[in-house]
Amino acid sequence: MADLQSRDGTHEWVSFEDPGEERTWVFDVTFMLSHWGCIFGRGCQGVLTEPAAELVHGCCSYGAHFVDAADRRRVERAAKTLTDDQWQFKAKGLQRGVVKAKKSGEMVTRLVDGACIFLNRPGFEGGPGCALHRAAIERGLPHLALKPDVCWQLPLRRDEQVDGKGHVTSTIRQWDRRHWGPGGEEFAWWCTESPDAFVEAEPVYKTLRDELVALTSQQAYDMLAAYLDQKADGAPQPLRHPAERPVAFVGRNNNKKKKK
């Protein structure tokens, strides 16, 4: 069996027609079958212009952009429930609010000391990482329930196109450097380009199941998983992700309190 490796950025894709609505789902098979995993606090270099693993910022240096008012309100409500043990900057958050409007009108999480107000820093008793993520873990909730949408979606992205007849094509892909806009080119490092982040024991479509269901639907995910289960176990061998290299997988990090 050929050992296929994408050396020019080529990805495989699959599409499914939604049985319940005028929609076509398109998925990046190459990324879904890759072994990407968040390495926040485990080698992540951050998204500044120079590598800065020691800051343990992850992708939180610039705050989170809210997708809509409902997203913002949900996070504001969640912030009021955080404890001092969970949130390093609780006092500042309650005093000034956790949301700020940019000059462009975009609503984002407020920054404190060069990063998102929800990001606990090294030296905090509970350890570095997202206060909202930690609270969700401690309450037995999925982190999707408390965090801004963009935070739990990364590194997944949903793009949509509507044709002249109203048919929607929804594409689920990896979040590339270019999706950050012009500033993305200034990042010294981005995780979906680095072999260092492709070390999970299980493929993305399994480790990010909850996120994929939330981005699509249970039915769409089930169609994807059924297809990829066969793809992963059968022939021909799927095209390996361009940033992925043969490695001895370290396994999934179960200490989720350290994961942003």
Tens digit of each residue's pLDDT, the chain (260 residues)? 234 455 567 899 999 999 999 999 999 999 999 999 999 999 999 999 999 999 999 999 999 999 999 999 999 999 999 999 999 999 999 999 999 998 888 999 999 999 999 999 999 998 999 999 999 999 999 999 999 999 999 999 999 999 999 999 999 999 999 999 889 999 999 999 999 999 999 999 999 999 999 999 999 999 999 999 988 776 566 678 888 876 555 554 444 444 44
Domain boundary among 153, 185, 205: 153
Kindly tell me the sign of the dihedral angle through the C-alpha atoms of 196, 200, 205, 207: negative
pLDDT at site 65: 95
> Is 259 within a domain?
no
**Pairing mode, strands 23-28 and 13-17:** antiparallel
| Structural contact between residues 14 and 243, judged by C-beta atoms closer than 8 angstroms | no
Domain of residue 27: give its range: 1-54+155-253
pLDDT at site 1: 29
Ramachandran area for residue 129 (φ above 0: left; ψ -120 to 50: alpha; else beta): left
The CA-CA-CA angle for residues 177, 182, 187, to 5°, reads: 50
- How many residues are recorded in the chain? 260
> Is 236 within a domain?
yes
> Is 231 within a domain?
yes
Q: Within 10 Å of residue 214's Cβ, how many Cβ atoms?
A: 19
> Is 111 within a domain?
yes
Longest dimension (CA), the chain: 61
Same domain assignment for residues 79 and 169: no
> Is 2 within a domain?
yes
Backbone angles phi, psi at 179, to 5 degrees: -70, -10
Domain boundary among 121, 153, 185: 153
DSSP 168: E
Same domain assignment for residues 185 and 243: yes
- How many domains are there within the chain? 2
Same domain assignment for residues 143 and 64: yes
> What tokens does 149 get?
């949408």
Radius of gyration of the chain (CA): 19
Distance, in Å, from the CA atom of 148 to the CA atom of 247, rounded to the nearest integer, reads 33
Find, among 109, 129, 112, 133, the residue nearest to 120 by Cα.
129
> Is 132 within a domain?
yes
Distance, in Å, from the CA atom of 132 to the CA atom of 172, rounded to the nearest integer, reads 25
The b/e string for 84-107 (b: 16+ C-beta within 10 A; e otherwise) is eebbbbbeebeeeebbeeeeeeeb
> Is 199 within a domain?
yes
Alpha helices in 181-235, H assignment, sequence order: 204-207, 209-215, 218-233
Distance, in Å, from the CA atom of 81 to the CA atom of 125, rounded to the nearest integer, reads 19
Same domain assignment for residues 43 and 165: yes
pLDDT at site 3: 43
Find, among 159, 155, 228, the residue nearest to 193 by Cα.
155
